[in-house]
Amino acid sequence: MPTSDNPPFPAALRLFSAGVIIVLIVGAGLFFAPELVKPHWPWAVTPFSARFLGGFYTAEIAVMAALLFWNRWSPGRLVLVMAFIFTVIVSAASFVNLGYFNFGRKATWLWFLVYLASAAVSGLFLWRARSRPSAKGVPLNPAWRGYMLLETAILGLYGVCMLQFPLIVSSTWPWTVDPFHAQVYSAIFLAGAGGIYVVWRSAPREELLVLGLAQFLVGLLAILGLIITDAAVHRIDWAATKTLCWLALFGWIGISGVFKLYVASRYFSSQSAS
């Protein structure tokens, strides 16, 4: 892809990406080593919430690593849009629910510092590049465009409902979710909806790869985390309708990511052949 079509970001953004990845590694510890990380987390987390959040942070590491590797407008605009949406919503939910936080821990102050700084940096780079057209993208057929628009609407509506009506929506999850965690989770769906909308309008190959990988990991790790955690605590009713619906939701997210990876790989193959 020509540099004029996909210009690089300043090197400072690479430093930001590396710093975010370091922070995310700690968050990923909630999935891989929850007993080590939970005592130092800014608020109390249940076993299921810990693994769910840890799985998302693991997926986010892959997304930020893509920005660190390419450091260009594509996939940068996708990553920054998703990061901005996620950090703004989580920051707002955190300020609304200050009672959940233990301000006697340094981790709490770092939480607010990292999220506010991340929102400011991603927002600043997006604002500076607001008039820049998207990089040349993969030509998506009408069926794909229609599906991605539907996907955006479903995830966006689910995220908004979870943000505005946390108790109602979270009651359909396999484990008990309090309003604060429900609002934090809403940011995952809204960030995903924002990212899919960006790619729907124009789908550069790097963005399809990053978005597909992110969705695949979110779906896979959410389900895997539920299985691993319940194997230890035995609290999930696997035959319950809400559990089956939750599994279907994250299974769909993961499978949708696989299809995007497939489309991106076909693009790479056609480029190599030419």
1 within some domain: no
6 within some domain: no
Domain that includes residue 140, residue range: 11-273
Q: Which residue's entry shows tokens 């794909």?
A: 144
Which residue type sits at 135?
Answer: A
37 within some domain: yes
Assigned token pair, 216: 């695949």
Cis peptide before 8 (omega within 30 of 0): no
Assigned token pair, 69: 């590797």
Residue pLDDT, tens place only, 119-175: 999 999 999 998 888 888 777 888 999 999 999 999 999 999 999 999 999 999 999
Q: Taking a C-beta distance cutoff of 8 angstroms, is the pair 5, 204 a contact?
A: no
251 within some domain: yes
pTM score: 0.94
33 within some domain: yes
Which residue type sits at 252?
Answer: W
Residue pLDDT, tens place only, 200-239: 988 888 999 999 999 999 999 999 999 999 999 999 999 9
Select from 23, 49, 41, 47 the least CA-distant residue to 105: 41
In the chain, the number of structural domains is 1
